[in-house]
Structure formats: C-alpha cells, structure tokens
Amino acid sequence: MKFDCDLVGKVGSMALIDKKRNALSYDTVARISQDLLPGDIWITSGAVEVGRLDYIKRNGAEIEGDAEDAKTDYSAQGQTVLMNTYRQFIDPKYSVRQILVEHQHFNDPEKREHLRAMLLRAKAQNAIPIINYNDAVSCEETRNLEIMNLKLKSAHVVQCVDNDETASQIACLMKAKTLLILTSTDGIYTDSKDKTTLVPVIGGKDIEELIKNVEYYQTLCDGASRKGANGAKAKLEYIKEPLYNGTEVIIASSQYGIREILSGSVPCTVIKTY
C-alpha cells in the first residue's frame, strides 16, 4: 500500500504539562521536537492550558469573566509559548511552520486540497508543520451553527473541536502510514485504574474484525485526563477512519521518544490489521 506521509503525530494537553511544576514540560516538548523530521506532521494540543498557566505566572490569577472569552485569550497567549518552545528544540536546520485549522478546512473540498498541498510541499522544503485547532478565533456559538448547517447538506461532517479528531483527519488527508497519539498514559487499558491491564495490540485479520475489536475496547474506556477532554473512548472513535485507510495507529505515553515508540521498544497500544 502506498502512503503519502510516514508519520502524523499528536500530543494531548495534559501530556505536555509538568504536573509537579504546574507548567509546560520543556522536557516533553524537547523529546518530541528532537525526533521530528521533514515529512512528519505534528498536531499539538495545549495552547489553552499553556496560555492559562503562563497568564497566571505573569498576573497571579486567572482571567475573570466569560469562560469562552477566557479560552480565546488563553489560546492566543499559549500559541506563542508553544511555537517558541518547539522552535527552540527542533533541529535548527529544519524550518518550522505553524498551521491553525478549523472545521471548514476539512469540510470544504477546495480548502482540504489547499491544506494537503501545503503539507506535501513542507517535506520538499525541509520544513516541519506544527498544527493546532484555532481556538483563538473560534466562537463556540458560531461554530455550532455552522456545523448544524453542514449536517443538513452532508452525513459526514468534520468538527475538529478535539485535536484527536484533527489528527485523525490529517492522517486521512495525507494518507499516513502511522498515526501516533501521545497521551499521559501508556495506551489503552481494560481497566483504567490498573496499569497492568495495558493492551499491547488491538488487531484483526481484516478491517471489519479490527473495527469490531476497537469497538469492544471502547466499551471498557471511561474518564478523561481533564475537564472538557473526551478520553480514550473518543480517541478510539476518531481513529476508525484512518484505520479504514490502512493507517497503523499507536497510542503511547509522551514520556517516551517518538523513535523508540515506533521501534516497539517501549509499552504502548498498537492498533492495526494483522
């Protein structure tokens, strides 16, 4: 099977936070950044939470008032911190490009193709794209209305308010060989409270059996790493579309490097046909 991209990867917000320091984990960003190569496409969450922590650090308190407005302001502040940190640790011989996306970039055929062409050019131009959802200009009320109108016209509508969905859609758009999702845990568990129940492989002899097995593990998933997150169950839902395209999916911890995860030398959950 021919793939147009070797790796699409994503890291979650809480996987980027040093809980002891209550701050962005520079070690985690460095570990990710040092493994990124032209041809890789990276989706980063964390703008809102990093922006919130950065604001508190500088002002001694959180932003007061409307929660949606605060999310907008935190995101705009956090984006600068995130991109500066990725740029600091990615090999200086590579360019770094920030790309902010919203649902319309996936629901409109012309915008999809424009995004795809830009991502394909990045490899040839020795550049690494860093993608995030554009929280800073996305109003929930307007977005919900736009999504509702789209659903009147099409049964398949991409929302992308969760970067797990964004990563899965990028993997589909680029026909990626591997989709790597980094979290604050080692992967999928049969019992989230028992770390000995990590599932190393979710497989199937064909795509129908694989999806059936993925849906079984969805029934065992509960909880999320933070308020507003959708958790492992949603991750398993979003990855179904890339799996249909032949993409191998790996869910792993951000405490490991990308290349050691891909080599199979650390614990993780691999999801693929046999």
SS (H, E, C) 130-173: EEEECHHHCCHHHHHHHHHHHHCCCCCCCCCCCHHHHHHHHHHH
Closest CA to 160 of 183, 140, 185: 140
Digitized pLDDT (tens) for each residue of the chain, 274 residues in all: 789 999 999 999 999 999 999 999 999 999 999 999 999 999 999 999 999 999 999 999 999 999 889 999 999 999 999 999 999 999 999 999 999 998 788 888 899 999 999 999 999 999 999 999 888 776 665 555 555 665 666 767 666 668 899 999 999 999 999 999 999 999 999 998 899 999 999 999 999 999 999 999 999 987 554 444 457 999 999 999 999 999 999 999 999 999 999 999 999 999 999 8
CA distance 36 to 131: 13
Dihedral sign, CA of 218, 234, 29, 261?
A: positive
Number of domains into which the chain is organized = 1
Domain limits at 98?
5-273
CB 105 within 8 A of CB 112: yes
Write down the pTM of the prediction.
0.90
Helices (H) and strands (E) in the chain, counts: 11, 10
DSSP letter at 117 equals: H
Residues in the chain: 274
CB 13 within 8 A of CB 226: yes
Strands (E), the chain: 5-11, 17-18, 23-24, 40-44, 95-101, 127-133, 176-183, 201-204, 248-253, 269-273
CA 44, distance to chain mean position in Å, is 6
Residue 132: what pLDDT?
A: 93
Closest CA to 256 of 272, 238, 269, 241: 269
CATH number of the domain where residue 207 is located: 3.40.1160.10
CB 89 within 8 A of CB 83: no
CB 199 within 8 A of CB 269: yes
> Can you tell me which residue has the tokens 């809980």?
19
Give the tokens for residue 243. 């799996």
CA distance 160 to 57: 29
Give me the residues paired with residue 99 across strands. Answer: 131
> Can you tell me which residue has the tokens 């960003």?
29
CA distance 167 to 157: 15
In this structure, what are the phi and psi dihedrals at residue 161, rounded to the nearest 5 degrees? -75, -10
The three state secondary structure string of 186-218 is CCCECCCCCHHHECCEEEECCHHHHHHHHHHHH
